Structure 1
Amino acid sequence: MKRSFFICLLLIIKQLSLDAQSLPLTYYLPDIDYDKSIPSPEELLGWQIGEWHLSHDLQQAYIRMLAEKSDRITLSEYARSYEQRPLVYLTITSPSNHERIEELRQLHVAVSNPEKADLLRVEDIPLVLYQGYSIHGNEASGGNAAVLVAYYLAAGQSAEIDTLLEKTIILLDPCYNPDGFNRFASWANMHRNTNLTADNEDREYDEAWPGGRTNHYWFDLNRDWLPVQHPESRGRIRSFHHWKPNILTDHHEMGTNATFFFMPGEPSRVHPLTPWKNQELTEKIGDFHAEALDQIGSLYYSKEGYDDYYYGKGSTYPDVNGCIGILFEQASSRGHLQESDNGLLSFPFTVRNQVITSLSTHRAAVALHDEILEYQRKFYQDAAREARAENRFGYVFGTDDDPSRTAALIDLLQHHEVAVHPLGEQLQLDGYTYEAGQAYVVPLQQHQYRFIKGVFDPIDTFTDSLFYDISTWTLPMAFNLPYTELPRAVKMEEALQNVPTATPQAPARSDYAYLLPWTNSQAPRLAYQLQAAGLRLKVATDS
Structure 2
Amino acid sequence: MTRFLFFPVAFFSFILSAQQLKSPSEFLGYELGTEFTRHHEVVDYYEYLAKEAPDRVKLMEYGQTNERRPLLLAFVSSSDNMNNLETIRQEHLKDTNGTGETSKAIVWLSYNVHGNESVSTEASMKTIYSLLTSKSTYLENTVVIMDPCINPDGRDRYSNWYNQYKNSPFQVDPNSKEHHEGWWSGRSNHYMFDLNRDWAWLTQVESQQRIKVYNKWLPHVHVDFHEQGVDNPYYFAPAAEPYHEVITDFQRDFQVTLGKNHAKYFDANGWFYFTKEIFDLFYPSYGDTYPTYNGAIGMTYEQGGSGRAGLGVITRIGDTLTLNDRLAHHYTTGLSTIEVSSQNADKLNAEFKKFYKNKNFKYKSYVLNGDKDKIDALKTLLNKHEIEYGTPSNGSVKGFNYKTGANGNMSMSQNSLVVSTNQTKGTLVKVLFEPNAKLSDSLTYDITAWSLPYAYGLDAIASTSLISGTSTDEKSGMSSTGGINANNYAHITDWNSMKDARFLAELLKEGIRVRTSHHPFSINGKSFKRGSLIITKADNQNKDNFIETLQRVSSKYQKEITGSTTGFVDSGKDFGSAYVQMITKPKIALFSGNPTSTLRFGEVWHFFEQQLHYPVTVIDSEYADRVDLKDYQILILPGGRYGNYFNEKQLKKLQDWVKSGGKIIAMGGAIGAIDGEKGFGIKKKESPKDSINKPQPYQGTQREQIKSAITGAIFRTKVDNTHPLAYGYGNEYFSLKLGSDSYKYLKNGNAVYLENNIEPISGFAGSKAQKKVSNSLVFGVEEHGSGQVIYMVDNPLFRGFWENGKLFMANALFMVD
Report the CA distance between 1:472 and its aligned residue: 1.6
Asked if residue 520 in structure 1 is aligned to residue 508 in structure 2, the reply is no
Report the CA distance between 1:364 and its aligned residue: 0.9
Given candidates 33, 43, 60, the residue that maps to 1:60 is 43
Mapped contact 2:243–2:440 kept (Cα < 8 A): no
Mapped contact 2:410–2:461 kept (Cα < 8 A): no
Given candidates 262, 267, 287, the residue that maps to 2:260 is 287
2-side partners of 1:65 and 1:292: how far apart?
30
Equivalent AA in structure 1 for residue 35 of structure 2: W
Aligned to 1:111: 95
Equivalent AA in structure 2 for residue 418 of structure 1: I
Change (3 A) 1:454 1:502: farther
What is the CA RMSD across the aligned residues, in angstroms? 2.6
CA displacement, residues 489-521 of structure 1 (integer Å, 9 cap, x when unaligned): 556323x47587665345434688866754321
Mapped contact 2:392–2:470 kept (Cα < 8 A): yes
Mapped contact 1:253–1:332 kept (Cα < 8 A): yes
Change (3 A) 1:524 1:257: same
CA displacement, residues 163-192 of structure 1 (integer Å, 9 cap, x when unaligned): 311110000110111111111111111112
What are the within-5 Å matches in structure 2 for residues 111-190 of structure 1?
A: 111-114=95-98, 116-117=99-100, 120=101, 125-154=103-132, 156=133, 158=134, 160-161=135-136, 163-190=137-164
Mapped contact 2:484–2:491 kept (Cα < 8 A): no
What are the within-5 Å matches in structure 2 for residues 113-512 of structure 1?
A: 113-114=97-98, 116-117=99-100, 120=101, 125-154=103-132, 156=133, 158=134, 160-161=135-136, 163-266=137-240, 268-332=241-305, 334=307, 335-342=310-317, 343-381=319-357, 384-386=358-360, 392-400=363-371, 403-425=372-394, 427=396, 434=411, 436-459=413-436, 461-488=438-465, 490=467, 492-494=469-471, 496=472, 498=474, 503-509=479-485
CA displacement, residues 303-336 of structure 1 (integer Å, 9 cap, x when unaligned): 1121111121011112111110121000015211
Comparing 330-339 with 485-494, greater Cα deviation is found at 485-494
Change (3 A) 1:488 1:35: closer
2-side partners of 1:285 and 1:278: how far apart?
11
Mapped contact 1:336–1:346 kept (Cα < 8 A): yes
3-state SS of 1:50 partner: coil
1-side partners of 2:45 and 2:480: how far apart?
49
Residue ranges of structure 1 left out of the alignment (5+ in a row): 1-32
Asked if residue 43 in structure 1 is aligned to residue 26 in structure 2, the reply is yes
Report the CA distance between 1:285 and its aligned residue: 0.8
Change (3 A) 1:45 1:516: farther
Mapped contact 1:264–1:302 kept (Cα < 8 A): yes
CA displacement, residues 246-285 of structure 1 (integer Å, 9 cap, x when unaligned): 000100000011010001122x311111112211111101
Residue ranges of structure 2 left out of the alignment (5+ in a row): 1-15, 402-407, 515-582, 585-813
2-side partners of 1:410 and 1:473: how far apart?
17
CA displacement, residues 411-459 of structure 1 (integer Å, 9 cap, x when unaligned): 2222222111023425476678656342211122112222111111122
Asked if residue 92 in structure 1 is aligned to residue 76 in structure 2, the reply is yes
Mapped contact 1:112–1:322 kept (Cα < 8 A): no
3-state SS of 1:522 partner: helix
Q: Which has the higher strand share?
A: 2
Equivalent AA in structure 1 for residue 454 of structure 2: M
Aligned to 1:16: none
CA displacement, residues 337-382 of structure 1 (integer Å, 9 cap, x when unaligned): 111124111112111111111111121112222222221111122x
Report the CA distance between 1:462 and its aligned residue: 2.5
Report the CA distance between 1:72 and its aligned residue: 0.5
Aligned to 1:9: none
1-side partners of 2:476 and 2:61: how far apart?
28
Change (3 A) 1:465 1:489: closer
2-side partners of 1:260 and 1:500: how far apart?
53
Report the CA distance between 1:296 and its aligned residue: 2.6
CA displacement, residues 97-117 of structure 1 (integer Å, 9 cap, x when unaligned): 111111111111112213x25
2-side partners of 1:506 and 1:441: how far apart?
30
Q: Which has the higher helix share?
A: 1
| Structure 1 length-normalised TM | 0.84
Mapped contact 2:244–2:438 kept (Cα < 8 A): no
2-side partners of 1:213 and 1:205: how far apart?
14
2-side partners of 1:217 and 1:181: how far apart?
14
2-side partners of 1:192 and 1:109: how far apart?
48
Mapped contact 1:246–1:323 kept (Cα < 8 A): yes
Change (3 A) 1:521 1:433: farther
1-side partners of 2:816 and 2:364: how far apart?
47
Report the CA distance between 1:141 and its aligned residue: 0.8
Mapped contact 1:38–1:69 kept (Cα < 8 A): yes
Mapped contact 1:414–1:420 kept (Cα < 8 A): no
3-state SS of 1:483 partner: strand
| Structure 2 length-normalised TM | 0.57
3-state SS of 2:287 partner: coil
2-side partners of 1:144 and 1:199: how far apart?
23
2-side partners of 1:503 and 1:354: how far apart?
55
3-state SS of 1:273 partner: coil
Report the CA distance between 1:43 and its aligned residue: 2.5
Change (3 A) 1:301 1:255: same
3-state SS of 1:49 partner: coil
2-side partners of 1:272 and 1:198: how far apart?
44
Mapped contact 2:233–2:272 kept (Cα < 8 A): yes
Mapped contact 1:260–1:331 kept (Cα < 8 A): yes
* Higher RCO, 1 vs 2 (CA within 8 Å, ≥6 residues apart): 1
2-side partners of 1:283 and 1:303: how far apart?
10
Mapped contact 1:192–1:204 kept (Cα < 8 A): yes
2-side partners of 1:516 and 1:50: how far apart?
60
3-state SS of 1:421 partner: coil
Change (3 A) 1:395 1:505: farther
Report the CA distance between 1:404 and its aligned residue: 2.6
> Percent identity, aligned pairs only?
29
3-state SS of 1:366 partner: helix
Equivalent AA in structure 2 for residue 200 of structure 1: P
Mapped contact 1:398–1:439 kept (Cα < 8 A): yes
Rg comparison, structure with higher value: 2
